[in-house]
Chains A and B, each alone.
Chain A
Amino acid sequence: MTRFLAPTIATPRPAPQDPRQWHDRLREDLFYSPGATLATLGMLALLAFAGWHLLNWALLDAVFTGTAELSPSDACRTPGVTGACWAVIGDKLRLILFGVYPYAEQWRPAVACVLMIVLYVLSVQRRLWRPSLALIWVVFLGAVIVLMRGGVFGLSSVTDDQWGGLPVTLILSTLGLGMAFPVAILLALARQQRKLPMLQAASVGLIEFARGVPLLVVLFMASVMMPLFLPADWQISKLLRVLIAFTLFGAAYLAEVIRGGLQAIPAGQYEAAAALSLNYAQTMRDVILPQALRMVIPGIVNIFIGFFKATSIVVVVGIFDLMTAAKRAVSDPLWQNAGIEVYLFAALIYFVFCFSLSRYSARLERDLARGATN
């Protein structure tokens, strides 16, 4: 047995480095044969061509404002203008960001957005990961709702059919997933346990139902069918109905991810907890869930990103989210030719949020992996 092992411990050595100069590397990687040279030059030409056109379209030929004689939209539609029409963003910015929220009160959704972004920044600080974080969420989201709804502290009342744009997208994804998360943990635990078969069956039924039908159908049910089943004096607003649908849907998907984490916990952990005479709640709260949740962070982030983008589907039920607001902006005949610009702007907003989330998730995995090896 021992003869397969080295007799001494190898001395550590630095990672190998490429001894080549940059020009050698260029030549050997990109111009190593006539064919490679041709391919490289062809690609460069293509890139330069596309890049030049993009630059022309997006910046050099673009229209940013109107002129003294021409209104911004006329400046965009002047024959011969071939560039992007960024003037539309200037004119429609507040419609895209805040929808039909009363114009004079639009500082409120603006502050609400900032509050939610601060909430995200706080939530990603690992040293704040303790039970009080749940309290921070309740306080921040409560403040967001109060700010948006008004009716107290001298704020005028603004019902939720007037909310629109970015705050609606953020509220749907944040509040929806925030409420879905505890539900998902309960669903996962209910499905995992073996002692109460009825509870397990109910959990399986709910999860499989939500996963078995498209989100679109659930939204239509929530917005078109649900009011028909409710008593006439039960007026649940459309946004709330859609939020409930999102919560159930998100909970079902999250529950399955969390269950994956629960299954990956070795039986020894349960046995060790039992040996310490911890009861079920203590075992789960202090031993199993912290490990299980940590294990499935990539899956959870994946669902968060998916849901953030999926909120744009609410356009089909007439909720005024960021994407709907963007569409409304280009329904104006003055700007109907500026669809690409407005959609690019909306895409940029989605990208900033989703990309930050995915970078954060990557960093978190690295940190946690380092923590695990130490």
Chain B
Amino acid sequence: MKVTTTYHRAGIYGLAGAALLASVSTAAAQEGSPTLDAVRERGELACGVIGSSFGFSLPDSQGVMQGMDADSCRAVAAAVLGDANAVRWVPLVPSQRLTALQTGEVDLLFAQLTWTMSRETDSGVQMTSVNYFDGTGFLVPTALGVSSAMELDGANVCSIQGPGEVTARDFFSSNGMEFTPVLFAEGQELRAAFLAGRCDVYMIDQSALISFRASLGENSANYVVLPEIISNEPLSGAVRKGDPVWYDIARYAHIAMVNAEALGITSENVDSFDASASPAIRRFLGLDGTLGQASGLQPNWAHDIIAQVGNYGEMWERSFGQSGADRGANRLARDGGQQYPYPMR
């Protein structure tokens, strides 16, 4: 008896939910998305990136933008336009990022923007999805003989000017320790100073640590990373508020890449799944069902992303993998990381 009621109730809720969803999606389809229309008319996606940071967005020797942020832009371009290369890169310094998005200079932002509450509530932008979980930690020379950040009392700490200063001050004062900040405007000088021994500790983002280690070559064994991570920096894509369809597209472009990795679909083997019997894979690749079509996407949008850009793991390997770094928090959830394949059904 009890069971039946529950089923019954679930059925009603489910029906109501489905009706609601249907009405919302019809409304969305009717409304359309001004951003999507503008992008299609222009034939290219204007994507705001930093353009100077290894692993996220940095032109290689041929001037081609490489990195996680660059590939995240490409994924959206592939989903929307069917061409991952239809991206216009707009390099932005951090202070311009939000303005460029608010004023419509860019359609989408993948510019190492930390997902914070005030940015979403005060700035008229909406975070789509975290493409890289970053965090600040400490790097010390092995010769210093330190194994925990709690032993750093009185240390000279090299860091970049800006928000990192506050993070350092919070950490040291809340643990009752003294420290001397040694501040630099940019990484190049900072790295040189640290290598020359001008400070004991290099306060560094996990992502920057990977490239720094790679730059050291064989000398990287002389430095050790302390286990403490003292700030959370979920780096996210962002869109303007007020265009829910565009928001969905940007978010699910990322989720599709994570799902593809979970399903074992890569840019190499994606075409071999055309004959797949798995309902999940058939839905994902647009062979069955209507995923994404309510947002105005072609049925094969996810296929285009994976074929042209690759899945999340491939993107990560391309950006950071060659230095033999650990994926850490950016592993799939099933491997102990935080990249979760939200169901696509």
Contact = CB atoms under 8 A, between A and B. Distances in A.
- Do these two chains interact? yes
A330 B88 CA distance: 23
B59 A100 contact: yes
B52 interface: yes
Interface stretch (A35-43, A280-288, A333-341): A333-341
Interface string A333-351: 1111101000000000000
Interface in A299-330: 316-318, 320, 324, 327-328, 330
B89 A100 contact: yes
B324 to A, nearest CB: 12
Contacts of A100: 51, 59, 63-65, 89
A332 interface: yes
B59 A99 contact: yes
Looking at B58, B63, B96, B214, which has the most chain A CB atoms within 10 Å of its CB? Answer: B63
Interface stretch (A111-119, A156-164, A290-298): A156-164
Contacts of B104: 232, 235
Given A77-B217, A333-B212, A95 B61 contact: yes
Q: Is the interface of B mostly helix, strand, loop or mixed?
A: mixed
Contacts of B277: none
B151 interface: no
Contacts of B217: 74, 77
Which of A77, A224, A230 has the largest number of chain B CB atoms within 10 A?
A224
A318 B99 contact: no
Interface string B298-323: 00000000000000000000000001
A224 B99 contact: yes
A74 B218 CA distance: 10
Contacts of B58: 328, 331-332
A333 B63 contact: no
Nearest to A229: B103
Given A164-B63, A333-B215, A327 B52 contact: yes
A332 B60 contact: yes
Contact of B61 (A91, A227, A324, A339): A91
A111 B103 CA distance: 35
Contacts of A94: 61-63
B1 interface: no
Nearest to A233: B104
Interface in B174-191: 186-188, 191
Nearest to A236: B105
B65 A318 contact: no
A102 interface: yes
Contacts of A99: 59, 63
Contact of A328 (B51, B92, B99, B102): B51
Most buried by A among B52, B53, B212: B52
A228 to B, nearest CB: 6
A230 B102 CA distance: 12
B211 A330 contact: no
B91 interface: yes
Interface in B15-73: 51-54, 58-65
B173 interface: no
A11 B93 CA distance: 71
B103 A227 contact: yes
Given A100-B63, A102-B63, A328-B58, A161 B215 contact: no
A235 B54 contact: no
Given A159-B88, A327-B52, A232 B103 contact: yes
B92 A318 contact: yes
A62 B188 CA distance: 21
A299 to B, nearest CB: 32
Contacts of B192: 339
Contacts of A101: 63
Interface in A141-178: 159, 161-162, 164
A105 B156 CA distance: 48
Nearest to A101: B63
Interface residues of A, number: 43
A130 B52 CA distance: 45
Given A224-B96, A317-B96, A103 B62 contact: yes
Contact of A333 (B91, B102, B323): B323
Nearest to A330: B188
B100 interface: yes
Contacts of A228: 99, 102-103
Given A159-B88, A318-B92, A77 B61 contact: no
A98 interface: yes
B214 A333 contact: yes
A328 B50 CA distance: 11
B90 A161 contact: yes
A99 B64 CA distance: 9
A310 to B, nearest CB: 18
A79 B60 contact: no
Nearest to B48: A318
A82 to B, nearest CB: 14
A315 to B, nearest CB: 8
Interface in B74-96: 88-93, 95-96
A223 interface: yes
Contacts of B212: 333, 336
B22 to A, nearest CB: 33
Contacts of A238: 90, 105
Nearest to B211: A333
Interface in A77-111: 77, 79, 91-92, 94-95, 98-103, 106
B93 A95 contact: no
Contacts of A328: 51-52, 58-59
Given A103-B62, A232-B103, A232-B104, A318 B93 contact: yes
Contacts of A223: 96
B89 A162 contact: yes
A324 B63 CA distance: 13
17 contacts: A91-B61, A92-B61, A94-B62, A94-B63, A95-B62, A99-B59, A99-B63, A100-B51, A100-B63, A100-B65, A100-B89, A162-B89, A232-B103, A324-B52, A328-B52, A328-B58, A333-B215
Given A98-B63, A103-B64, 4 more contacts: A77-B218, A94-B62, A336-B191, A339-B188
Interface of A: 74, 77, 79, 91-92, 94-95, 98-103, 106, 159, 161-162, 164, 220, 223-224, 227-228, 230, 232, 235, 238, 316-318, 320, 324, 327-328, 330-337, 339
Query: Which 5 A-B pairs have CB atoms at the shortest separation, nearest pair first?
Result: A336-B215, A333-B214, A77-B217, A227-B103, A333-B211
